[in-house]
Structure 1
Amino acid sequence: MMTDHSKIRLFLPSTALSEVPSTIMHLKNIEWFGFNISYSLQKLPLNFASKIALMDPIKHKDDTCIMLSRILPTSVFFSLKILNFNKCKRLSKLPDNIYVLQSLQVLQLVSCHVITSLPKSIKNLQQLIDILILDCEMFQYVPPLPPSILYFNAINCKSLEAVSSLTSEPPRNKLYASIGFCNCTKLDDDAYEAVLKDLKSRIELVANNDGYPHNEANNGNKFLYYLPSKESIINEWFPSYYCREASIIVEVAPDHKISSCLVGCILISQYQYFNIWDKEVIFGWKCYLKKGCNEWEWIEFLPIENT
């Protein structure tokens, strides 16, 4: 058990406990609660914890997915904000009724080696903004995601091949998105195109000021997309401005509103994911508008940190 001021983090992993101890049922101010997947989780009260980490069941004969399908529609999960599955080696899939978690904002799958995809019902989680899939060796397919998604990262999922359109419609009130497929080396061309189409739709919303307040549409928009190297496809999407140099000059029409939309793409070969606490790499670009002979006006500086 760890405490942080008034918040309590209670983890009981890999113990001989097959049921949640009754002595903790009435604890207050629990922020994180970690336990093995168990039917006893159904007994936990509403608002018991806003963040829950689940691990493999202890010696239970029922299928893990079946257990989850019975556990999720109970009071403890109704107000849940973050759900983490950590090293669930027996979890082959998530139940279709995950849509009942209407307060869920973050879903994490870490080292769940036999899970192959997310359920199609994931698109019905209207508050979900962040999905992390890390070190899931058999993960193969990403279905359509809810339009609320701002962060999606699949890391070291080396069986991942297929990605449907990421969202049916990008959120119109958010100016930031980070989508990553680091070390997902089997990602096929159709999946690659689907991800780039999602990027294009977000850029078009900003470029057209569609759905954004006028004074916010051009203020620090960052859409960060990380993909395995497919240079031919990148060149097709950015044919006019493809360059290997450290700097590039782009000519624009005199009546072009240069402030309306600025798109930059950095292609990095042989990229490998690492722990951001061990190393830090910073990319970015500075943009200037030429106003005369040797006269440049600074427009924007965009750093991309912890990449």
Structure 2
Amino acid sequence: MAMVVFATLFSQFESSCFMENARAMTEKHGISYVRDKLISELLDDENLHDGPSIVSGSTFAMRRLGRKKVLIVLDDVSHSKHLDSLAKECGSLGPGSRVIITTRDKQVLDGRVNEIHEAKALGDHESLQLFCFKAFHKDHPEIGYEELSERAVAYAKGIPLALTVLGSYLHSKTTKNGKGTDAIESITFDMSQIKEVSLSADAFKNMPNLRSLELYSRSPKSCANLPSGLESFCDRLGYFYKDFFPLESLPASTFCLQNAVEIHMKYNHVTKLWDGVQDFVNLKVVDLHGSSQLMELPDFSKAQNLEYIVLSLCSKCLETLMVANCGSLEEFSLLSEKITDLDLSTTKIEILHPSIGRLRKLEGLSLNGSKLKNLPINELCCLTTLGKLNFYDCGHLIDKPKLHILFNALHSLQELYLEECSSLAELPDNISASSSLHHLSLSGSSVKSLPASIKHLSKLEIIKLRECRRLRSVPELPPFITYLDATDCTSLETAFITPSTYSKGSCLLVNCMKLDEHSLYGIMINSYFAMMRCLCFDESLVHFFDAVCYRGRTVPMWFGNNRTANSSIAIQLAPHFHNSLGFVISVIVSEFTSNISFRSLFEDRRTFKLYYRFHLEEGEEISEATDWLYCSPLHPDFSKSDHVLLWYEPCRICLPDTTKNTGYV
């Protein structure tokens, strides 16, 4: 439409310039480039554009421009600041000059122009001109194409996009140089004055280089019917803009947006964008402002160039936002109070907007590897439903005073991850205020001790202290611990382990070389009581008990005579062994260094293979074999000392009450 206006008026002026796609040109080259290009074309002097900003400040050039009657058409201007900059440098135009600006945003023009006209469907004459410009690169039909041109104009009904597509398609059929629709890279269509338009898949088949499709409108009453079979251009499409998108999702069979850089879908009807994880390596911008029906967002973990997400006014149904590993993401806008899970791990976001305090239904917040400059503690204290808080590798953000405030406020907190927080040396005494805490992970942190009040956390079951190399003591713990891992706590000297500390699960103290004998004795005694419960009293514990590991070279004394230095042992079973649940096994792992990494544990496994042979009174034998992967819950490096391994092995054979003895290897 802008081209039609320019073609109609340019002959009335001494000089003219049609600046097509000003927005894209400004984003690519900058406003200085656009300004210099504009003035050089108006003065018809290529030398003025030889270097950067040569025109700016040139009195001679400005005087020449001030004596000319010029026509300027700036097509698709996106920011008012660009207009202000151009007006400052090019404000002195000759008498009778005219500047025409097209934009999608009316506010860009407010207070800066004499008149504002809203675009409407083209009349027959303007439609014919636009069609001919696209088909023949002139304002009238070629000889022999008059009737065809009139039919095309009547079919398009004044819609610029339809005229552009039809004209370009005809041009591809009539030119000899192979151009035409192949050269179309961008289509922009304002649907504000149109109720409905259907886009034909055939029209896009000859646009293999289409990179940008924009269908914008100020009214939800405008409808663009998107056909199936658009794969031919969608696999190259980098910019997609569609207001009031009518579907509930982007159909996988229609939209192949693996090369998408920007997706703008304001005020749409989608409940979700797509299923699964898409490899959008180029994706930088996602704008879903006003998506009131949005219920879930896709996994953006592979969109590592993602920089900006807009979710404002997505307030009805959206519950989960996961942008973990989007290493380029620096900001996002979010006002949905329905969010239950927010994952901002390893992003470049530096500031959490205060509106996060209004997420009253938030249950999970992950800030792993965060680049935040500060932590909005007061806002986080408002998240009273928060059950999971992850500060992995956030040593610059979290410290004892901040944790003190959070513990007083977050009474629903069940899982707290403070791993690799190297600046965290101490936990506050009021940790007991988080009475719902179930899982506490401090692995890799700089904590030197745990507060004595930790024993009052009656729901705490899992404590991970792996590689807390400054930790010197473990106090009395709550009575229902199922998993304690203090592997590689090389400074650990005392551990207050009693029979009430843990009754099931694992207690791993690998390479704790400074652990005193009193603590080791307590661990051994506690293991005895725990395993006896598994053997004789509580069948429900069988599936929970895993292993105990600590520094040592002797099988516990409570094994009595059922021990050997060989690879097999024969044991006379008790008369009622068939009622027992299994065996307690202890082995001494001699000092060795393993090259096994955690990633290869399941490729290079180290196991004990156990063989059972039961001899019955009638002379019958029953055999069984089983593997036990001893480095799965443990550290694969026993380079510091020999270690005692204890674990429970359930009996998988149903035995009659005539069993005499068993030998196993």
- Short-chain TM bin: 0.7 to 0.9
How far residue 166 of structure 1 moved from its aligned partner, in angstroms, is: 4.4
**Cα offset, 1:153, TM superposition:** 0.4
Work out whether 1:224 is the aligned partner of 2:523.
no
Q: Is 2:433 aligned against 1:112? A: no
Q: 1:6·1:29 contact (CA, 8 Å) conserved in 2?
A: no
Which runs of 5 or more residues in structure 2 are unaligned? Answer: 1-297, 302-318, 323-341, 634-665
Following the alignment from structure 1 to structure 2, what is the Cα–Cα distance between the partners of residues 69 and 163?
25
Aligned equivalents of 1:53, 1:26: Cα separation in 2: 20
Q: How far did residue 158 of structure 1 move?
A: 0.4
What is residue 246 of structure 1 aligned with on the other side?
A: 567
Please point out which of 124, 131, 135 is paired with 2:467: 135
More deviation, 243-252/219-228:
219-228
Distance 1:98 1:130, change over 3 A: same
Give 2:403's aligned amino acid.
L
Given that 2:411 and 2:433 are in contact with CA atoms closer than 8 Å, whether structure 1 keeps it comes out as: yes
Q: Higher mean Cα deviation, 36-45 or 234-243?
A: 36-45
Give distance in 1, aligned partners of 2:299 and 2:382: 20
Give per-residue Cα distances to partners, 1:166-222, cap 9 Å, x unaligned: 453645xxxx4111012212222111111111111112323442xx3xxx3695563
From 186, 197, 209, the counterpart of 2:525: 197
* Aligned AA (2:391): A
1:202–1:271 CA distance, 2 compared to 1 (3 A): farther
Asked whether the equivalents of residues 235 and 242 of structure 1 are also in contact (C-alpha less than 8 Å), the reply is no
Give the match for residue 22 of structure 2: none
Q: TM-score of the superposition, structure 1-length normalised?
A: 0.78
Deviation, structure 1 residue 260: 4.9
Tell me how far 1:163 sits from its aligned partner.
0.9
Cα deviation for residue 39 of structure 1 reads 3.2
The corresponding residue for 1:69 is 404
Take 1:217 and 1:23, find their aligned partners in 2: how far apart are those partners? 46
Separation (CA, whole Å) in 1 of partners of 2:425 and 2:544: 38
Alpha-carbon distance between aligned partners in 1 of 2:557 and 2:457, rounded to the nearest angstrom: 34
Unmatched runs of 5 consecutive residues or more in structure 1: none
CA distance in 2, matches of 1:82, 1:168: 23
State the match for 1:151 in structure 2. Answer: 483
Contact 2:506 2:547 in 1 (8 A): yes
Residue 343 of structure 2 is matched in structure 1 by 10
> Match for residue 78 of structure 1?
411
Q: State whether residues 7 and 29 of structure 1, in contact with CA within 8 Å, keep that contact through their aligned partners in structure 2.
A: no
Indicate the SS of the match to 2:486: strand
With over 3 angstroms needed to count, the CA separation of the structure-2 counterparts of 1:107 and 1:261, relative to structure 1, is same
Partners of 2:609 and 2:481 lie apart in 1 by 24
Over 3 Å counting, the alpha-carbon distance change for 1:49 and 1:220 in structure 2 is closer
Distance across 2 between alignment mates of 1:87 and 1:220: 31
Describe the shift of the 1:140–1:271 C-alpha distance in structure 2 as closer, same or farther (beyond 3 A).
farther
Q: Which amino acid aligns with 2:390?
A: I
Structure 2 CA distance for aligned equivalents of residues 88 and 261 of structure 1: 42
Q: C-alpha displacement at 1:133, in angstroms?
A: 0.5
Contact 1:38 1:57 in 2 (8 A): no
TM-score, L = length of structure 2? 0.39
1:125 to 442, 457, 461: 457
Superposed CA offset, 1:63-90 (max 9, x none): x32332222111xx22222111133233
Paired with 2:415 and 2:593, the residues of 1 have a C-alpha distance of 27
Q: Counterpart of 1:25?
A: 357
Do structure 1's residue 296 and structure 2's residue 621 form an aligned pair? yes
CA contact (8 A) 2:356 2:379 kept: no
84-93 or 32-41: which moved more?
Answer: 32-41
2:388 to 46, 50, 54: 50
More strand by share: 1
Question: Following the alignment from structure 1 to structure 2, what is the Cα–Cα distance between the partners of residues 303 and 147?
Answer: 28
Q: Is contact 2:365–2:386 with CA below 8 Å preserved after alignment?
A: no
Between Structure 1 and Structure 2, which shows a larger proportion of helix residues? 2
Q: SS at 2:587's partner residue?
A: coil
Amino acid aligned to 2:608: F
Structure 1 window deviating more from structure 2 (91-100 vs 243-252): it is 243-252
CA deviation after TM superposition for structure 1 residue 119, in Å: 1.2
* 8 Å contact kept, 1:37–1:68: no
2:419 and 2:485 map into 1 onto residues whose CA distance is 16
Q: Which digits, 9 at most, give the CA deviation of each residue in 1:50-105, with x for residues without a partner?
A: 233263245x9xxx32332222111xx22222111133233221111101112111
Q: Does the Cα contact within 8 Å between 2:476 and 2:501 map onto a contact in 1?
A: no
Q: What percent identity do the matched residue pairs reach?
A: 21
* Contact preservation (8 Å) 1:287, 1:300: yes
Alignment-derived partner of residue 53 in structure 2: none
Letter in 2 for 1:46: T
Aligned Cα RMSD in Å?
A: 3.4
1:93 corresponds in structure 2 to: 426
Give 1:257 shift.
5.3
Q: Which has the higher contact order (CA 8 A, sep 6+)?
A: 1
